[in-house]
Structure 1
Amino acid sequence: MRDVLVIGGNRYFGKRLIDRLLAAGDRVTVLNRGSAPPPAGAVHLVADRDDERALAEALDGRVFDAVVDQVCYTPRQAAIARRVLSGRTPRYVMTSTVEVYEHQDSPTAVTEDAVDPREVAVDPELPWDEPEFLDAHYGEGKRQAEAVLAAAPAFPYTAVRVAHVLGGDDDFTGRLAHYADRLRTGEPITVPATNHPATYIHVEEIADFLFWAVGQEFTGPVNAASHGTLTTDEIVARIPGGPARFQEVEAGEVSPFSFFRSYGMDNSRATRLGFAFTDARQWLPQAVAETLGKDH
């Protein structure tokens, strides 16, 4: 039996990870601000992870075989996690994002080396506490959070760079619903004149990946994406309704999952380490059906 701490994880693939840990017989502790209780069987700790003293007090006297941090978005949060958790765990898994590659416009899928966190400059004085700033600098916040962790080689971390997630009847993003609404009303779907494909992962698969990563020993960044890429056309083609009307633009706001640059991640490191990914085109119909349900 392992002792695993999950920070955050109240919804979407985080709650699925907790379910998997509990089903495996692990002792699971969930720490959040008290916004939602964890599943039955998990220990619940209440603290604001941004408050270093409160976090340290909540974890006083506790050690863990692994920690999964679902809500580390900024270098400040990463620094607090590193200080509080050092000596409490031999394994810290941070959920990062494909958005760390937002400046790598590569025609081929990028490997982890494309963004080396050891070379990322960190500025903890930026207004990370302001929601609008953080939302506009999501990828930068994750990059700098990884950099803080990588700057402490004695801290055993891995950063799971998660592809765009699809599937589940609890997808709170509304991105597939955006397309379903456009198809129903006949409104145009705005896309770049050159619309690039991206890598994706099913909500159940990323939960599987994080569960798997808890039990591994590798460190550093790792890409988590299903095999293959998907285009806006392929996604829309699976949504009932239509016909789709696409409106191309050279700049400005575009529909979700429409990209002015490539968002493809190479998953070969994780594959070599032993995780078997599925193919995105195989699970896409299921993901659409799960998310949109009978109403669509």
Structure 2
Amino acid sequence: MKRICVIGGSRYFGKVLVQRLQAAGHRVTVINRGSAPPPEGAEHLVADRDDEAALTGALGSRTFDAVVDQVCYTPVQAAIAARAFSGRTRRYVMTSTIEVYDPATAALPVLPPGTPVPEGAVDPVGWLVRADLPWHDAAYLQAHYAEGKRQAEAVFAQHHGFAFATVRSAHVLGGGAAEFTGRLVHYTERIAHGTPITVHSAVLPTVFIHYEELAELLLWAATLTDATGPVNACSDGPLDVYGLGRVIVAQAGRKAVYRSVAAGESASPFSFDRHYAMGNARAKRLGFSFSRTTDWLPGAVTEALATTAAPTC
């Protein structure tokens, strides 16, 4: 049995993570601002992670075997957490994102389309941290989401108070109404209603992961491996928007209508005119086994269709 702290953990795959940690026999403490209670049986600490004094006060004398940080978006938040948990935990796992590899948001190595992007394409150990930028501004943070994640990773990677791993998640799907991004419903609604789906004329594939599989990988990263550094988290089998559409069409029984736009123009979620589909080889070498996207995607589509409003005549 280990003592695990989860920052966030009250919804979607974070909630599943807490439940699976408990089922594995671990003692779980959840920290959030009190907006939602954690799963039954987890210790609940109410604190704003942006308030260092409040966070350290809530932690008291507690120590942990591992911390899983679900809601770290900026280097400022990472620096507060690094100070607060130094000497309190042996291991720190941050949930990050595929977006750190987006070449539209930083100067990154260029790989040919079809080449899975490895973790080394973004090395947090050497990444420049700019804590003086306006990370407190919601509009700035939204516009610089990928860079906020890269710099948050860098703060932890350059800190020496604990072992650090970052799980870079692919696009998360599944869960029906719990999937709060609404990106899969964007497709199910348009196909169900015959509304055109805007896609790039030269669309490239991306990678996905089921929310339960991501929770399982985070459990593994926190409790079953000592690996440090970045780990990509994606199911096997890249898919472009047309492949995604075919799965939805098969479930919905309706045709998909597409409208093409040029490179650089806005399009539907998961339509990419730039390559950054990451690979999962490192996680596999470390012992984690992934499912295939096409195995679980039909079930996720069924859940999304159940939340899609029926077309009106």
Query: When the two structures are superposed, what TM-score results if normalisation uses the length of structure 1?
Result: 0.97
Contact in 2 for aligned 1:176/1:292 (Cα 8 Å)? no
Structure 2 match to 1:230: 239
Q: Which residue identity does 2:233 align to in structure 1?
A: A
Cα 1:294–1:144 shift into 2, 3 Å: closer
Q: SS at the partner of 1:190? A: strand
| Structural RMSD (CA) | 1.3
Indicate yes or no: 2:229 matched with 1:217.
Answer: no
Q: SS at the partner of 1:178? A: helix
- How far apart in 2 are the matches of 1:228 and 1:237? 15
Structure 1 match to 2:193: 185
Contact in 2 for aligned 1:199/1:263 (Cα 8 Å)? no
Structure 2 match to 1:252: 265
Q: SS at the partner of 2:64? A: coil
Equivalent in 137, 142, 158 of residue 135 of structure 1: 142
Q: Which residue identity does 1:223 align to in structure 2?
A: N
CA offsets per residue over residues 88-133 of structure 1, 9 Å max, x none? Answer: 0001000000000011553211111000112211111111111111
Q: SS at the partner of 1:238? A: helix
Gaps of 5+ in 1: none
Q: Which residue identity does 1:208 align to in structure 2?
A: E
- How far apart in 1 are the matches of 2:307 and 2:45? 37
Structure 2 match to 1:30: 30
Alignment of 1:144-159 (within 5 A): 144-159=151-166
Q: Which residue identity does 1:289 align to in structure 2?
A: T
Q: SS at the partner of 2:6? A: strand
- How far apart in 2 are the matches of 1:259 and 1:13? 25
Contact in 2 for aligned 1:183/1:241 (Cα 8 Å)? no
Instruction: Report the CA distance between 1:294 and its aligned residue.
Output: 6.9
Indicate yes or no: 2:290 matched with 1:282.
Answer: no
Structure 2 match to 1:261: 274
Contact in 1 for aligned 2:32/2:49 (Cα 8 Å)? yes
CA offsets per residue over residues 265-284 of structure 1, 9 Å max, x none? Answer: 11111101000011111111
Structure 1 match to 2:40: 40
Of 37-46 and 151-160, more deviation after overlay is shown by: 151-160
Of 98-107 and 73-82, more deviation after overlay is shown by: 98-107
- How far apart in 2 are the matches of 1:20 and 1:259? 33
Structure 1 match to 2:204: 196
Instruction: Report the CA distance between 1:154 and its aligned residue.
Output: 4.2
- How far apart in 1 are the matches of 2:52 and 2:253? 50
Alignment of 1:66-85 (within 5 A): 66-85=66-85
Which contiguous aligned blocks of 4+ residues in structure 1 show a shift greater than 3 angstroms? Answer: none
Contact in 1 for aligned 2:9/2:70 (Cα 8 Å)? yes
Instruction: Report the CA distance between 1:67 and its aligned residue.
Output: 0.4
CA offsets per residue over residues 42-64 of structure 1, 9 Å max, x none? Answer: 00000000001110111110000
Q: SS at the partner of 1:36? A: coil
Q: Which residue identity does 2:289 align to in structure 1?
A: A
Gaps of 5+ in 2: none
Instruction: Report the CA distance between 1:242 and its aligned residue.
Output: 3.2
Instruction: Report the CA distance between 1:241 and its aligned residue.
Output: 4.7
Q: SS at the partner of 1:173? A: coil
Identity of aligned residues (%): 57
Indicate yes or no: 2:285 matched with 1:272.
Answer: yes
Contact in 1 for aligned 2:76/2:152 (Cα 8 Å)? yes
CA offsets per residue over residues 221-274 of structure 1, 9 Å max, x none? Answer: 111111110110111112215321211111321001111112311111110100
- Provide the aligned length of Structure 1 versus Structure 2: 296
Structure 1 match to 2:120: 113
Q: SS at the partner of 2:268? A: coil
Q: SS at the partner of 2:90? A: coil
Q: SS at the partner of 2:255? A: coil
Instruction: Report the CA distance between 1:174 and its aligned residue.
Output: 1.1
